[in-house]
Structure 1
Amino acid sequence: MKMMPSCREITERASDYLDQNLSPWQRAAFRMHLLMCVYCRRHMKHLDLTVATLARIAAEKKARGSDDIQRIVELLKQQADSPAGQKGEDCR
C-alpha cells in the first residue's frame, strides 16, 4: 500500500482492516483515506454492518439450535417416564 491508498485498495483491504490484519502504518494510511473519502467511509460502514448482522444471525441460530436440542431431550425424557403407548403432554 502506498502512502495514501486508493479507493480500490481500500475496497480490496477492507476485510483485512476489520480483521486487524494490517500493519500499524497500513492502518494509519487506511484511516487517513477514510477521513477524506465519504464513499469509502460509506463502504466500510456497510461492510461493518453486514458483518455485525451476520454474526448476530449466527448467534441466534446457534442459541435456537441449542434450545431445540434441549426441548427434544426433555420430550424424550417425558416419553420414557410416561406409560407405554401414551404421549407426553408436549408431543403433538
Structure 2
Amino acid sequence: MKLAPIFDPDARRPSPKPVQVDLRRIFTVGTAAWALAMVVCFILLLCGLDSMKPLIVSAAGVAVGLLLLVWEHFNRWDYRRLAQ
C-alpha cells in the first residue's frame, strides 16, 4: 500500500545519505561569472553606454559570491562530517 508510510512510520524506507558536493568550486564559478559580467558592464560604461545599474548588480553578485566563499571555508567541516 502506498499510503502505509504515512500511517506507519516504520514502513518508510531509510533516507538517502546527503550528496557531497564541492561548494567551493560552485561558488568560485558563480563569482567568476559575476566578475566577468562586471568587467563587461564597466567596458560598456567606458564606451558611453548607460550600464551603471547592471554594473552595480554584478558588483553585488561578486560581493555575495565572496561572502559565500568565506562561509563555505568556515562550514566545510560540517558537510564533510555529514557525508561520512
TM-score range normalised by the length of the shorter chain = 0.3 to 0.5
Q: Which has the higher Rg, Structure 1 or Structure 2?
A: 1
- TM-score (structure 2 length as normaliser): 0.37
Kindly indicate whether structure 1 or structure 2 has the higher relative contact order, using CA contacts under 8 Å at least 6 residues apart.
2
